[in-house]
Amino acid sequence: MAGSQTDTRLGGVERDGVTGARFPAKGSVRPMTAGDLASVLAIERRSYAYPWSEGIFRDCLRHGYGCFLFDDGGPVGYVVVSCAAQEAHILNLCVDPKARGRGVADHLLRVALERAEVMDAETVFLEVRPSNAAARRLYDRFGFHEIGRRPGYYPAANGREDALILGLPVLSGGFG
């Protein structure tokens, strides 16, 4: 990687010693298929208090949404992105708890953004809980910014939680 004379490890993650950028996680990304759903649902249920149902994943596959899986000897994470009318929406991004903190989400998010660019999206949107520190830090690093808030959008243990709506413009030649 360019400018990486002094590679270092921070928090168990390999980073470029000059820029601090993560090196890609080991493993590879491939399209999700219906045959992956048992593994995907197991990760989903380990990760969310209010997980998606199998039917939601099947609908996403049937509608041709971008459903990508990070495979490291088996599924360890996935992203779902829908693209229409110059908008992309990241609907789910999830990494198995045992595979977190080594750049898998970073890699999946890049794949989703590439898909948005190929599909001619002008803006990428997503929703996140204000309390989700790991996800917010990831999205901050990619340049997502807050463009709105849906009050009481998510179910929560003590009532409801707002959703932050984040956006990222797709600039010609990359993301801004």
Ligand X SMILES: CC(C)(COP(=O)(O)OP(=O)(O)OC[C@H]1O[C@@H](n2cnc3c(N)ncnc32)[C@H](O)[C@@H]1OP(=O)(O)O)[C@@H](O)C(=O)NCCC(=O)NCCS
What is the SS3 assignment for 27? Answer: coil
91 binds ligand X (CB under 6 A): no
75 binds ligand X (CB under 6 A): no
Supply the minimum distance, in Å, between the C-beta of residue 93 and ligand X: 5
Residue 85 contacts ligand X per CB under 6 A: no
Q: Binding-site residue total for ligand X (CB under 6 A)?
A: 21
Task: Report the half-sphere exposure of 116 (CA within 13 A, side-chain side).
Answer: 31
- Is 78 known to be catalytic? no
Question: Is residue 110 within the footprint of ligand X (CB under 6 A)?
Answer: no
| Cα four-point dihedral sign 138, 142, 145, 149 | negative
| Closer residue to ligand X in complex, CB, 31/101 | 101
In sequence order, the 6+-apart residues with CB closer than 8 A to the CB of 123 are 86, 87, 88, 167, 168, 169, 170
Site string for ligand X, 131-150 (x = CB under 6 A): -xxxx-xx--x---------
Q: 3-state DSSP call for residue 99?
A: helix
CB of 10: closest distance to ligand X in angstroms?
8
Please identify which residue in 128, 163, 164, 170 interacts with ligand X, judged by CB under 6 A.
128
Distance of alpha carbon 125 from alpha carbon 87, whole angstroms: 7
102 binds ligand X (CB under 6 A): yes
Q: Are strands 123-128 and 87-95 parallel, antiparallel or unpaired?
A: parallel
The Cα–Cα gap between 4 and 106 comes to 19
Q: Which residues bind ligand X (CB under 6 A)?
A: 22, 47-48, 93-95, 100-106, 128, 132-135, 137-138, 141
Residues labelled catalytic: 127, 139
